[in-house]
Amino acid sequence: MPDATNQTGSAPEVSEQAWPLQRWQEALLLLVLSVAPYLPSFISAYGPLGLDDTLYWQHNPAIRDGAPSGLVEIWHSSYLSDYAPVAQATVWFDVAVAGSEPWRMARAQQMLWFALGVLGVWAFLRRATGRPGVSLSIAALFAVHPVCAQSVLWLAQRKNLVALAFVWWSCERYAAAREPNAPKEGALRYAAALALGALALLSKPHAVALPAILFAYEATLGRGALKTRALRWAPFAGLAAAFVAGSLLFLREDLERSFLGGSRAAAIVSDGPLVWRYLANTFWPSHLSFYYQVPELPAASGAGLAAWAGLVVLIAGSIFASRARALTAFGWLAAAAGLAPAINLLPQLAPMTDHYLQWALPGLLLLAAANITRPRAAWALAMAACVAFFAVTFTRAHTYRSKRTLFEAAVAAEPASALNRAQLVYALREAEDPTIGAQALAALEAPDADRLLAQDRALMIREAAVFLHDHGDAAGAQALLDRESAKLPQEGLPWDRLTRAEVALRTGNPDGAAQLIEPAVAPLAQAWTGLRKTCREGPRLPDAFPPVTSLQLEGNDPFARQWAGKLALRELSLLARARLDMDENEGAWDVAAVLVNLAPTFTPGRMLLAEACERLGMPEKAAALRASVANAKPEE
């Protein structure tokens, strides 16, 4: 064990030899604390939240439904703009073992990776600081901290847990390689640290924080000549730099969003108050949400600049006043390293979220633990904080049992977030809740409504316009439709056309909806006449159709192509529904027949065709179509 006095500037609170707990006892305690708050999610097998998790597990072409070829394919493709084959492999394992509904298996893996990360934090701090009590306290607080609930319970953040575990074990091996009493093992330990770092980068891009954490370690707790330390650290920096360059040049297709505040300089200034809120959520996590509303400040904002000035004063003052200055400095630097990749230097959908703070959490917790010099007081505070954090985490975990309960809690905690309200609208739509319109209107009126994605904004516009129309404000509905539709992308996918058509259909104007959609699907018109005879006389419908040329189906991004396909189905569904509402039953049958051929398992298409068959005097075909719906695998 390294000499803790030389590294931290203060003696450990108890010597390693006198420490009452054995390592296996500490590890077992941390394992229990890591899993206990989240056991209900495994026992009750909480399902997916529909927030990218179904895309990773059920609609992910790379994993190939758990087939062995999926283990090869994940190394050749990126998904949702991330190249993360190692994290993808863990998803593949869930599906390969548990099939198409692997949620209990997925949650077991989720808790396992989180526990490995907790143990990594503990093992690294124990080795790097020589203070077992401090290390155990920080790891225990990290294990039960409510901020970590988002990564553990939101399955789409599997990549966060996997990358974090590899990062902290890489740090542990790096520190182990530097121990003077193990020169023979040093090279192997260093190689293991480098390999674990590479696995972290291949799990989530946020792992570029690793070399910054190691820099913090070398700058504050490291020993030896400066040149030696720099050479030891350089391969990690080079690995991360190569990954960043490759990712930005060849992989990332999601960086076209606007900067927070409108520019990179404004984003940096806006991050000042955001960091203060992260600090508050670390030490008083009573007001956590899923998404947060972050004020967008101009580059010359006095409030933003004052926030950064206050942070500088706090950091400098805490280091100067500390009796463990090296540890305090390391805590600040490690926290900064963990947050840096998510500090809005690149545009992000959510400028602030809990799984970003999770990377900085061990460093921030170290600030408090390292500066409590009386062992009894330290343990009393640590135990009290653990109990309080555990209670909050256990309670918060129950909100993740469904999308509705999660975002009802999120809206209650952070009502000014348009992203929270938009996700609640999706959940309310599934339940056909009548309050959906009011929530959609509130989302459009939220301070950060401009951060809504096109598909989310389109849904909010539709639901809010219908809500106003149904409450007797037709003029207000039209004004909202015109104002908000102008903010939708006018090129590429047909968000504006679909939004206006659905509002027309739902407010009693099917003719207007048909007029909007028919020109877009005109290339299919030539197929309808031939389809009518073929489909009515034969049991099978033809397989080949002309393309829906109004949609942008080109490109290599499978996610973008998936959206284009979904919108093609929606256009045809809206047109079929409009024709049924206008009693144009044969025309509706024509469109629904094309729809069923394009997507045989698309349930709404089958139901529309069944209704058309019924109206045209074909009850047997209608009954057969409805019966087939129960056995079909829905396409979302």
Distance CA(37)–CA(34), nearest Å, equals 7
258, 347 in Cβ contact below 8 A? yes
* Contact indicator for 221, 330 with CB cutoff of 8 Å: yes
How many C-beta atoms lie closer than 10 Å to residue 183's C-beta?
A: 9
Task: Name the CATH topology of 403-488.
Answer: 1.25.40
CB atoms within 10 A of CB 243: 20
Query: How many angstroms separate the CA atoms of 240 and 62, rounded?
Result: 25
Please state, as a whole number, how many other Cβ atoms lie within 10 Å of the Cβ of residue 109: 20
CB 332 within 8 Å of CB 213:
no
The two structure tokens encoding residue 629: 């719906």
- Looking at residue 12, its pLDDT comes to 45
Give the model's pLDDT for residue 172.
97
Task: Give the DSSP letter of residue 33.
Answer: H
| Helix, strand, coil shares, percent, the chain, to 5 | 70, 0, 30
Are domains 403-488 and 522-631 of this chain identical in fold?
yes
Q: Is 318 left (phi over 0), alpha (psi -120 to 50) or beta?
A: alpha
pLDDT given at position 339: 95
What was the pLDDT predicted at 200?
A: 97
Give how far the C-alpha of residue 179 lies from the chain's centroid of Cα atoms, to the nearest Å.
Answer: 38
Closest CA to 177 of 195, 163, 202: 195
- Sketch the domain layout of the chain as residue ranges: 4-8+22-400, 403-488, 522-631
**Residue 79, strand partner residues:** 82
Q: How far apart are CA 459 and CA 439, in angstroms?
A: 11
d(CA 7, CA 519): 73
Which backbone phi and psi does 632 adopt, to 5 degrees?
-80, 150
Handedness of CA 437, 439, 444, 449 (dihedral sign): negative
pLDDT at 444: 96
Residue 503 tokens, joined:
């509002």
Query: Which sign does the torsion angle of CA 93, 150, 392, 167 carry?
Result: positive
Q: Which tokens in the block code for residue 68?
A: 């062995």
DSSP class per residue in 229-246: HHHHHHHHHHHHHHHHHH
Q: What is the Cα Rg of the chain in Å?
A: 28
State how far the Cα of 103 lies from the Cα of 594, in Å rounded to an integer.
Answer: 35
Residue pointed to by tokens 């009802």: 408
Indicate the helix (H) or strand (E) that contains 400.
none
To 10 degrees, the CA torsion angle through 147, 153, 155, 160? Answer: 30
- pLDDT average per 10 residues of sequence, the chain (636 residues): 41 55 92 96 92 88 89 84 90 93 95 98 93 92 97 96 98 90 81 97 95 96 89 95 82 70 92 96 94 94 96 96 92 96 87 96 92 75 92 96 96 96 94 91 95 92 96 95 91 85 94 89 60 51 41 48 75 91 88 78 87 89 82 47
Q: Is 10 helix (H, G, I), strand (E, B) or coil?
A: coil
pLDDT at 615: 92
Exposed e or buried b for every residue in 569-595, given b needs 16+ CB within 10 A?
bbbbbbbbbbbbbeebbebbbbbbbbb
Contact at 8 Å (CB) between 172 and 55?
no
> Cα–Cα distance between 277 and 292 in angstroms, integer?
10
Predicted pLDDT at 525: 56
pLDDT at residue 552 in the model: 41
- Tell me the residue type at 446: A
From residue 203, how far is each of 338, 489, 494, 635 by CA, in Å? 15, 32, 34, 28
| Of 298, 206, 300, 306, residue with least CA distance to 259 | 298
What gap in Å lies between CA 114 and CA 152, rounded to an integer? 7
Which residues, in sequence order, are bridge partners of residue 82?
79
CATH of domain 522-631: 1.25.40
User: Rounded to whole angstroms, how far apart are CA atoms 556 and 467?
Assistant: 38
* Residues 395 and 310: beta-carbon distance below 8 Å: no
